[in-house]
Amino acid sequence: MKDAVFRETTAEPRTQSVPLSHLSLELGHVYMEDFEAGPGRLRRHFEAVRPWVEAARAAAADRAGGGRPRISTCFLVDDYFTRFSRPAELVPLLLAEAGRAGLTVDYLARESGCAVNGKVPVAEAVAGRIVEEPPPGSYGNRPPAAQTGWLANGVRSPAARTPQAMQRAAAWQPPTETAARRHSVFLDVELFSDTPDGQRVWSCPFLAAVWQLARLGLLRHQGDAVLDPHPHTGSAFPDDWDELPALVRLNPRAAPFAAYRTCSVLPNRFLPVEHAVRVILDQLEVDAEALRQVGERSARENVSLPASVADRVSYLFYAGS
């Protein structure tokens, strides 16, 4: 007779699974300057977004083999870098202008929830998963991103130094991209900065990378899903942003928030930020169990997914706004 093995249930690793759509379709961001420009700015944005949304939906249907894909829409409000307006004022305006353009916002997210959600240090936890790609020929003399707050996609140009006596100054060398195709497109991304009083401020690209992980169903903290959608109950919205959940489900009939792939329809002024997002995603060690769950579910649904998390993210940029 074999000896019985007793194990505490709390010792068993557990990774919460999340429901998945085929596509998470982002209808845009709104920042203070967009709100201050008045309802006309939002109206022009949604009018510009509408044809691209239709194209994204058609592409998702084609990828699903002609079937009806599960698609959810979302919108991100910046309440992290600046606190402007009130949910009670902004959200109805946002929904009204989207509806005027024939669009439905299923989920509304607060950008501050990508930094801290309740007691969960979301951004800090994701930063702890950065695994920097060692550039060819490097000798570990570059300080880690966790120390400097900067993450590059290649080798930085060496800093000029005063040569010692009787020695010639080293020749200037250009920066190089690690995975360059003929010519380099080198990018050095600021992940965070620290204020004089020691407060950490996460950068827009880093929070956007966290946002993409959440939309891909790959964001976990100690096994628990982060940014769970809270259904909106009642007709009114609160006056304070802190009283609004980090992620709100506005449409009770919406498909799941997270998805196998994401697509964001944005003005082209966001292109540099989203380039930085890809650099960050390419150097993150994503939760392995969450990746496995998504992989197994996509296989059961015959959904083909790229191995690279960054390749599951797509964009449609339009001019103006």
- From CA 72, how far away is CA 244, in angstroms rounded? 20
Condensed to tens digits (0 to 9), the pLDDT of residues 236-292 reads: 999 999 999 999 999 999 999 999 999 999 999 999 999 999 999 999 999 999 999
**Which tens digits make up the pLDDT trace of 171-188?**
778 888 888 888 989 999
297 close to 16: Cβ distance less than 8 angstroms = no
pLDDT 10s digits, 210-226: 999 999 999 999 999 99
Predicted confidence (pLDDT) at residue 163 exceeds the cutoff of 80: no
Tens of pLDDT, residue by residue over 32-77, are: 888 888 888 999 999 999 999 999 999 999 988 767 899 999 999 9
Contact (Cβ atoms closer than 8 angstroms) between residue 80 and residue 111: yes
Cα distances (Å, whole numbers) of residue 236 to 88, 102, 186, 244, 280: 7, 22, 47, 11, 37
**What are the residues whose beta carbons fall under 8 Å from the beta carbon of 20, sequence distance 6 or more?**
70, 217, 256, 258, 259, 260, 294, 297
Q: Which amino acid is at 170?
A: A
Residue 221: its pLDDT value, please?
92
CA separation for the pair 45, 98 (Å, rounded): 9
| Rg from Cα positions in the chain | 22
Is residue 22 within 8 A of residue 69, CB to CB? The reply is: yes
Q: What is the mean pLDDT of the chain?
A: 89
What percent of the chain is modeled with pLDDT above 70?
89
Query: Whole-angstrom Cα distance, residue 95 to residue 106?
Result: 10
Asked whether the beta carbons of 150 and 188 are under 8 A apart, the reply is yes
Q: What is the pTM of this model?
A: 0.90
Under 8 Å CB-to-CB from 13, ≥6 apart: which residues?
223, 289
